[in-house]
Amino acid sequence: MKKILILGSSGSIGVNTLNVVRKFPDKFKVVGLTVNSRIELLEQQIKEFRPEFVVVTNESKARELKSNIGNLCDVLSGNDELLKAASERDYDILLGAIVGFAGLQPTLEAIKRGKRIALANKETLVVAGEIVNKLVLEHNAEIIPVDSEHSAIYQCLVGENLNEVEKLILTASGGPFLNKDKSLFENVTVDEALNHPNWKMGNKVSIDSATMMNKGLEVIEAHWLFGLPVKKIEVVIHPQSIIHSMVQFVDGAIKAQLGLPDMKLPIQYALTFPERLQNDFKRTDLPVINALNFFKPDFDKFECLKLAFEVIKVGGTAPCILNAANEVAVEKFINKKIKFSQISQLINKALDKVENHSDPDIETIFECDKKTREFLMDAGF
Ligand code: NAD
Ligand code: MG
């Protein structure tokens, strides 16, 4: 029986994790759940999964939940309790499904305890990949990716030698604007941008998919997870999202992992690796899918993707600046404060003006995230 702590249980990945856990009551026990504020959903989750404790980062929501559920479980509140959950509570696997930079610190706490981290929060590796890798080695921790592309690559690499990898091929659906002319980006609405053709995800990652920043973040994530230079990472548009990603080896062989676009499988794999467990999830019916297509991405149209390739070459805190500026820009777009086409402009501005630090320590990363947000606020964004 593995004890699981789920950070971000009210989100798209959090809910899907519980959909997996529900299927294997004799394999997993949910010991803790955390959310930012959606206490109605959390209350249902508490009643079904009976965790020992929950953390609600929003303090007034935590009080409200406490009065609703009495002593069904410990209700803790605030960011410090979130960190303490990761650093002190008893669990085997941390499922990291908080969105954005906020996911970094609790993940680091779990790494320092040598835990298995089933990592959905790609931003952790984007902003601090090098530091994370050092800590994972030092503390004998384990990061198993939940992101479907990285899970696919992870699966393709089982039994293989990393030195024999020629390149990683990350597939990208291309998002809702794959076939839209760039001149129309000026006027796309939030609803159009949120309407992903293949995946139902949280707002931030949905907008990231529309700008293709998501694929950019995933290139950086893959670089740190698999220790390969970006020149060995290629992005290919594959609109059906059936091939989740591929690995090409030095002899020219390509291995791929296929499946329906459903996060339950990569989540399950990250929880059970190296085992595979029988499940009843819907199977891929290839004749029904009929055709799989592949195209080169358009870097001029999707500038965010280009910027992500650039920051990893620059190194230092550049990926952290990119990430923070992107989080600010996406939030502003969702709140209708800027246009879709301004997202990449705002990120460019931050990359241009916020000072880059080479070889940053973790304090420098936190400082850089804060400085970037302040810069954009001061610059009137
Ligand atoms: P979401 O917005 O649906 O959920 C985010 C969760 O994080 C919620 O539970 C929320 O309460 C919590 N949260 C948000 N801000 C917080 C804060 N400041 N402190 C503590 N908790 C906070 O997001 P999601 O779509 O589930 O994505 C989660 C992560 O997984 C992201 O990093 C995303 O890129 C990654 N991911 C998601 C998908 C997907 O299919 N949704 C696929 C691959 C990777
Ligand atoms: Mg992905």
Query: pLDDT tens across 318-368, in order?
Result: 999 999 999 999 999 999 999 999 999 999 999 999 999 999 999 999 999
pTM: 0.98
The answer to whether position 269 is within a domain reads no
Ramachandran area for residue 144 (φ above 0: left; ψ -120 to 50: alpha; else beta): beta
Q: Which ligand is nearest to the CA of 7?
A: 1
d(CA 134, CA 365): 15
Domain final position from 145, 167, 196? 145
Residue list, ligand 1 pocket, CB within 6 Å: 8-14, 35-36, 38, 57, 82, 97-99, 102, 120-123, 147, 199, 201-205, 263
Kindly state whether residues 159 and 303 are assigned to the same domain.
yes
Domain final position from 89, 112, 145? 145
Total structural domains within the chain: 2
Kindly state whether residues 158 and 42 are assigned to the same domain.
no
Atom 16 of ligand 1, residue of closest alpha carbon: 36
d(CA 107, CA 103): 6
The answer to whether position 336 is within a domain reads no
The answer to whether position 99 is within a domain reads yes
Q: Which residues, 6+ apart, have CB-to-CB distance to 253 below 8 Å? A: none
Atom 39 of ligand 1, residue of closest alpha carbon: 201
Q: How far is the centre of ligand 2, averaged over its atoms, from the C-alpha of 82 (Å)?
A: 25
Q: How far is the centre of ligand 1, averaged over its atoms, from the C-alpha of 153 (Å)?
A: 22
C-alpha distances in angstroms, 319 versus 13, 112, 351, 354?
24, 23, 9, 12
Mutation probe of ligand 1 site: the residue of 12, 65, 264 with most atoms within 8 A of C-beta = 12
The answer to whether position 238 is within a domain reads yes
Atom of ligand 1 nearest to the CA of 263: 40
d(CA 72, CA 186): 50
How does strand 53-56 pair with strand 116-119?
A: unpaired
| pLDDT (tens digit per residue) in 112-169 | 999 999 999 999 999 999 999 999 999 999 999 999 999 999 999 999 999 999 999 9
Kindly state whether residues 57 and 201 are assigned to the same domain.
no
Q: How far is the centre of ligand 2, averaged over its atoms, from the C-alpha of 264 (Å)?
A: 13
d(CA 183, CA 204): 23
Q: How far is the centre of ligand 2, averaged over its atoms, from the C-alpha of 333 (Å)?
A: 21
Kindly state whether residues 128 and 162 are assigned to the same domain.
no
Kindly state whether residues 133 and 178 are assigned to the same domain.
no
- For 89, other C-beta atoms within 10 Å of its C-beta total 16
Indicate the residue type of 146: V
Domain final position from 145, 176, 192? 145
**CATH number for the domain including 106?**
3.40.50.720
Q: Which ligand is nearest to the CA of 222?
A: 2
Give the pLDDT confidence score for residue 199 in this predicted structure.
85
Give the pLDDT confidence score for residue 24 in this predicted structure.
98
C-alpha distances in angstroms, 235 versus 98, 123, 298?
25, 18, 10
Give the pLDDT confidence score for residue 379 in this predicted structure.
82
Q: Of 32, 33, 19, which Cα lies nearest the Cα of 268? A: 19
Ramachandran area for residue 333 (φ above 0: left; ψ -120 to 50: alpha; else beta): alpha
Atom 21 of ligand 1, residue of closest alpha carbon: 36
Kindly state whether residues 123 and 99 are assigned to the same domain.
yes
pLDDT range class, residue 86, cuts 50, 70, 90: very high
SS3 at position 292: coil
| pLDDT (tens digit per residue) in 199-234 | 889 999 999 999 999 999 999 999 999 999 999 999
Q: How far is the centre of ligand 2, averaged over its atoms, from the C-alpha of 137 (Å)?
A: 25
Q: How far is the centre of ligand 2, averaged over its atoms, from the C-alpha of 242 (Å)?
A: 12
Task: Check: CB of residue 168 under 8 Å from CB of residue 245.
Answer: yes
SS3 at position 85: helix
Containing structural domain, residue 221: 150-260+296-314
Q: How far is the centre of ligand 2, averaged over its atoms, from the C-alpha of 23 (Å)?
A: 23
Atom 27 of ligand 1, residue of closest alpha carbon: 99
Average pLDDT, the chain: 97
Mutation probe of ligand 1 site: the residue of 7, 98, 153, 218 with most atoms within 8 A of C-beta = 98
Atom of ligand 1 nearest to the CA of 147: 43
Atom 43 of ligand 1, residue of closest alpha carbon: 147
Mutation probe of ligand 1 site: the residue of 125, 205, 241 with most atoms within 8 A of C-beta = 205
Atom 32 of ligand 1, residue of closest alpha carbon: 121
The answer to whether position 10 is within a domain reads yes
Indicate the residue type of 133: N
Q: How far is the centre of ligand 1, averaged over its atoms, from the C-alpha of 281 (Å)?
A: 23
Average pLDDT over residues 174-182: 96
Give the pLDDT confidence score for residue 378 in this predicted structure.
85
Give the pLDDT confidence score for residue 42 in this predicted structure.
98
Q: How far is the centre of ligand 2, averaged over its atoms, from the C-alpha of 234 (Å)?
A: 14
Q: Is the pLDDT of residue 88 over 80?
A: yes
Q: Of 263, 219, 225, which Cα lies nearest the Cα of 117? A: 225
Ramachandran area for residue 359 (φ above 0: left; ψ -120 to 50: alpha; else beta): left
d(CA 318, CA 326): 12
d(CA 46, CA 30): 10
The answer to whether position 253 is within a domain reads yes
